[in-house]
Amino acid sequence: MKVGIIANPLKEGAKAALKRLRDALRAEGLEEFLEQETADLASESGGLVGPELAQLVDVVAVLGGDGTMLNALAKLGGTAKPLVGINIGTLGFLTSCTDDEIESFVKSLKEGSYGISRRTLISAKVVREGQETREFIALNEAALTRGHTGRLVSLSAMVNGELLNHYRADGLIIATPTGSTAYSLSAGGPLISPAAGVFVITPICPHTLSQRSLIVDDEAVIELSPDDTSDGPMLFTVDGRDCVEIQAMDRIEVRKAAQELNLLRLEGRSFYTAVRQKLNWRGG
């Protein structure tokens, strides 16, 4: 098995975790290949750009946290190769184990004792003057938010060509089930099982409290657009990156992407394990 490695060079402890992972892979006779920035972190040459790495390896191990997983997805492009997150610190919603469990992770990898969690991705396009811009792919969410003003903004949401609502809020989030634990949750949205075939539309700090989150099926096409030219440019982001200014006549089309993310899960680890740990649920 060939294992690609992407590490977050800004994460404290990344260099030590990288060495530990490489040592464990070599001890089990597994080949390892480094992404460019990861090779720089190891003070080595010959690192690969994301798409080349994805094409060469069987699985990609990502050292960092949930944010590093999102960045790794963007670096790799539309790969079907499984990703496994190794959190430097505590367990995340996207990561499968911590850096203290690297040796047991590598053993599981060699023995094939793991599962694959298929995660829906979002495809979002900005339509400007009737022309589509490039496609943006997101694992967590697409968001249209207020720009440089401190005021609420007016925006509309359409679902399958039908008006859903005119919102007066700080913005609007379209989240996948995976993204229900991220920005949408912070804005008051519900937790959703990753296997659910849905999207959640969550307003950010709405002016009217009756404007709540709405869950729609993930075959729906959702369109967002500014309502009021006096609000000035708004900001469109996917997974907190690729920030684009949205003008009054622009609109954003959001739908399920053609590809999925294959997330490697170790035995005994699940979404529910992460929920209990991250949200400090005790039960009983």
The one catalytic residue in 23, 40, 58, 66 is 66
Q: How many CA atoms lie within 13 A of 215 on its CB side?
A: 12
Please give the Cα distance from 94 to 97 (Å, whole number): 9
Q: Which residues pair with 200 in a beta bridge?
A: 175, 215
Compute φ and ψ for 164, nearest 5 degrees: -90, -55
Q: Which residue has the tokens 């960045």?
A: 71
**Which of 109, 110, 64, 122 has the alpha carbon at shortest distance from 91?**
64
* 260 burial type by CB count under 10 A (0-12 exposed, 13-18 middle, 19+ buried): middle
The yes-or-no answer on residue 66 being catalytic is: yes
Q: What is the DSSP letter of 13?
A: T
Compute φ and ψ for 154, nearest 5 degrees: -105, 130
SS3 154: strand
Helical ranges in the chain per DSSP H: 14-27, 36-41, 50-56, 66-76, 102-111, 183-186, 271-278
Please give the Cα distance from 212 to 110 (Å, whole number): 46
Residues with catalytic roles: 66
